[in-house]
Structure 1
Amino acid sequence: MTSSVHDDEAESLVGLGDETSEFLWAQPAQGRRGPKPKFSLDAIAEVAITIADDERLDAVTMQHVADRLGTTKMALYRYVPGRAELDAVILDRVLGEPEEPRGEDWRAVLTAWTHGMHSRVLSHPWSVELAQRPHTPGPRELAWFEAGLGAMSPLKLRGSEKLDLLALLVGHVMSLVRQLAATAAPEEALAAGLAPILAARAQDYPHTAAAFAEAAQEGAQDDALSFGIERILAGISALVAAR
């Protein structure tokens, strides 16, 4: 991470280092003297998130955020050291706190956990880029870890296996959100694009042609999220049963 607060665009490409993690986890000073700050970190984050939603993640610069707030870029640095720290804050705000788990069925809890993650990220597809950069999780993101791992507490899995399971579920979510950000119905779009090709060359790709034809008849396209969750958890269930 660059030491200059003016290089905020370069900072954002590096990922989150120790200084960024410290900023994200810092608690507000208690009994702080002096005038009340003009802006709050939540207000700054809300503006940055709105810019990313309305335009794109690349449009979230310190200057742009400052302009929206009606202040100067230098004044904004009093609240946020740079773009990397701002990225960390908005990712944590977008993820939010996970919902309280319901029931004791670990598969049902993890299914709801994954759907919840998907819903949060899909609301702000640009957050996938931030989530997949190397970084130290913030308080809200770590709450997702805690909730997911808590659902696995009765399972005979090693700690590394539990973390790998979360990585599989989150990776599944992120991959699908990336696809949905490009097109609302990726499987339908793929099928439409391949239709004339498979019609002309079905004999060269018989298994592909048959699979797409059957999927169209079943009307079961674009259900990759639930299918993936079910298969991942079924595999873990088999592993636990074998032990």
Structure 2
Amino acid sequence: MTELLWGKQPLPSRGPKPAVTLTGIAEAGIRIADAEGLDAVSMQRIAGELPVTKMALYRYVPGKTELVAVMSDLAMGSPPDRPDQPWREALHTWANDLYDGFTLHPWLLLSTVGRRLLGPNELAWMEQGVSALTESGLTGGEQLDSILVITSHIRNIAQQSTTFPGHTTGLTEEDMQQSLAEILTTEAARFPHLTTAMRTSAGSENQGLEFGLQRILDGLELLINGRKAST
């Protein structure tokens, strides 16, 4: 697995000249996952997209588990280059870039959970996030935990605001908002506080994204300033 993720897998040494590459196979899987969801990805489906047989694919990748790992790292890509910024602005930009990546490829929310080997692109994202806190006075563990908390928030908002390909409910965001508004109109006495809150809310997921992110950054700022004041 490590060799696959880090591009160190030896090319097939026997047989005709390879008709495809591991990157080309992963790109085909990404196209399928983007359009139909991760469950639709299979060696058979990918073979149908490429000029190779299903069995020929196993010369490049052992199976779907390994293929999804390669797909995930490729889909994440390298983090965008950004100009140097103070730590708070840098983490804010980093978090929004990460959110954009998850919403561009929603299946990444499913494929990048749990204990697994990490590829170069995913580690590059972690590197960029941690680098914003290098001069903050936080310990290495606190820097890593800060990135974990921010990433968890981004993942949660992305998951709540995303319709996964192949798992649609058939409802748009407008449908959901209208349905909830109608329910609260007729059930206001049962849910008085929720009704009041909804009436004074603009009702955007991105407000939740920004609100939560700013509160996390507020907490980090208090910790960083307190650490500096004590030294």
TM-score (norm 2): 0.85
Report the CA distance between 1:97 and its aligned residue.
Answer: 0.3
Report the counterpart of residue 229 of structure 1 in structure 2: 213
Report the counterpart of residue 81 of structure 1 in structure 2: 62
Where in structure 2 are the equivalents of 1:33-44 lying within 5 Å? Answer: 36-44=17-25
Tell me the amino acid that sits aligned with residue 101 of structure 2.
Answer: R
Report the CA distance between 1:107 and its aligned residue.
Answer: 0.8
Report the CA distance between 1:158 and its aligned residue.
Answer: 2.2
Report the CA distance between 1:21 and its aligned residue.
Answer: 3.1
Report the counterpart of residue 166 of structure 2 in structure 1: none
Structure 1 residue 208 corresponds to structure 2 residue 194: yes
Match of 1:148 among 129, 134, 139: 129
Check whether the contact 1:152–1:162 (CA below 8 A) recurs between aligned residues. Answer: yes
Secondary structure of the corresponding residue to residue 194 of structure 1: helix
Secondary structure of the corresponding residue to residue 125 of structure 1: coil
Where in structure 2 are the equivalents of 1:181-200 lying within 5 Å? Answer: 181-182=162-163, 185=173, 191-200=177-186
Larger CA deviation: 176-185 vs 59-68: 176-185
Report the counterpart of residue 168 of structure 2 in structure 1: none
Tell me the amino acid that sits aligned with residue 46 of structure 1.
Answer: E
- Distance in structure 1 (CA, Å) of the matches to 2:89 and 2:28: 36
Report the counterpart of residue 115 of structure 1 in structure 2: 96
Q: Deviations over 1:175-223 (max 9, x none)?
A: 22222223664xx6554333233223333332211111111xxx36332
Name which structure has the greater RCO, CA cutoff 8 Å, separation 6+.
2
The answer for unaligned runs of 5 or more in structure 1 is 1-19
Check whether the contact 2:184–2:195 (CA below 8 A) recurs between aligned residues. Answer: yes
TM-score (norm 1): 0.81
Tell me the matched-pair count. 218
Check whether the contact 1:191–1:212 (CA below 8 A) recurs between aligned residues. Answer: no
Larger CA deviation: 94-103 vs 135-144: 94-103
Relative to structure 1, the CA distance from residue 67 to residue 33 in structure 2 (aligned partners, 3 Å threshold; closer, same or farther) is closer
Relative to structure 1, the CA distance from residue 212 to residue 189 in structure 2 (aligned partners, 3 Å threshold; closer, same or farther) is farther
The answer for unaligned runs of 5 or more in structure 2 is 164-170
Percent of counterpart pairs with the same letter?
A: 39
Tell me the amino acid that sits aligned with residue 38 of structure 2.
Answer: L
Structure 1 residue 64 corresponds to structure 2 residue 50: no
Match of 2:143 among 162, 167, 171: 162
Match of 1:179 among 160, 179, 191: 160
- Distance in structure 1 (CA, Å) of the matches to 2:198 and 2:179: 11
